[in-house]
Amino acid sequence: MATFALGIGTSHGPTMSTPWEEWLVLAEKDLVDERLNPSTLVAKPELQPEIADERRKARHAAYHAAIKALKAQIEAARIDTFVVVSNPHQIFPQEPQPVFGIYLGESVLVAQDTGVGEGRRRFDHSAAPRALPSDAPLAQHLMNALIDDGFDLACMDRFRDGTMLEHAYAVMYEHYFDQPRPLVPVILSRYRPNQATPARCYAFGQSLRRAIESWGEKRRVAVVASGGLSHQIIDEDLDRSVIAALQRKDVAALKGLNRDRLNGAPGTPEILNWVTMAGAAEDVPMTLIDYIPAYRSLLGTGHGLTYGYWSAS
């Protein structure tokens, strides 16, 4: 039988793919990001130390250290397949948008890796993508088992022409894999109105764990929560309360997260991925590697970078 061997929580996004010197360039983009209603944001002079060069440099070093520590846990766990729960960012309004879904294809398309530069892996999105391994048998099993367990899933077995696995999932290839590894993308919408409640996401995580452990193959499987915590506007109080609830197994707090607050910034609903992870690892302790509030402007824009794991064996 398959084994749930490791839970992984990692942020993703441009903060992790940008040298600290360029975070202020991201801040300039925040000023014209209509999703943030920047004209309504109020500058907070007390954040000046947070965006100083030395603080940004220290934050950059801290998340690289966290990635290194999490990568060590992944290697030690001897994982065969990674089931990555995250959110589609490339939305095509003319197409149906699922609440939950799964990718069933034989391979996943990822941008070409051009090597390491400026402290991070570089990917060429203009070149023809690489086809890297999925785990189609596990994906099909998860599809059937989750439906049997009461979750109605959308599915796809190939990408649009020219579309590659986006960074929400490719973060594993960019930061955690030295060699190609089988990966099953699981879709959880972060967008309203097709956004599940925190309680439903927790239950989905429980069902996902049962589905993995009902698979007849002898495989060590990791579940990954990719995304979060709060961004593009940082909400440290929310982030720290979520982390505390994850650590102390406060299911009521996780299920009862305020949905309006979760939707206070475009990226913050990615916290739901971590709630799903909590359901999958409900009996496994969570270890926080680091929480790094990476500010990039006096308006409070930035990313609550978070890294942790649930070691099941």
Q: Where in the chain are the domains?
A: 3-18+74-89+96-287
Q: How far is CA 275 from the centre of its chain?
A: 11
> 10 φ, ψ to 5°?
-145, 140
Q: How far is CA 59 from the centre of its chain?
A: 19
Cα distance between residue 201 and residue 21, in whole Å: 37
Residue 177 vs residues 68, 214, 291, 297: alpha-carbon distances, Å: 11, 27, 22, 32
What's the pLDDT at 128? 62
Sign of CA dihedral 208, 275, 311, 177: positive
Q: pLDDT for 68-78, tens place per residue?
A: 999 999 999 99
What's the pLDDT at 246? 98
Taking only Cα atoms into account, the Rg of the chain, rounded to an integer number of angstroms, comes to 19
What's the pLDDT at 165? 67
The closest alpha carbon to 82, from 244, 222, 257, belongs to 222
What's the pLDDT at 205? 98
The pair of three-digit structure tokens given for residue 184, joined into one six-digit string: 């099953």
The closest alpha carbon to 90, from 157, 152, 153, 167, belongs to 167
Domain 3-18+74-89+96-287 fold is Protocatechuate 4,5-dioxygenase; Chain B (3.40.830)
What tens-digit pLDDT sequence spans the chain (313 residues)? 899 999 999 999 888 888 899 898 888 888 888 887 877 888 899 999 999 999 999 999 999 999 999 999 999 999 999 999 998 776 555 667 889 999 998 888 776 555 544 444 455 555 666 778 889 999 999 999 999 999 999 988 876 665 656 778 888 988 899 888 999 999 999 888 889 999 999 999 999 999 999 999 999 999 999 999 998 899 999 999 999 999 999 999 999 999 999 999 989 999 999 999 999 999 999 999 999 999 999 999 999 999 999 997 6
Query: Model-level pTM?
Result: 0.93
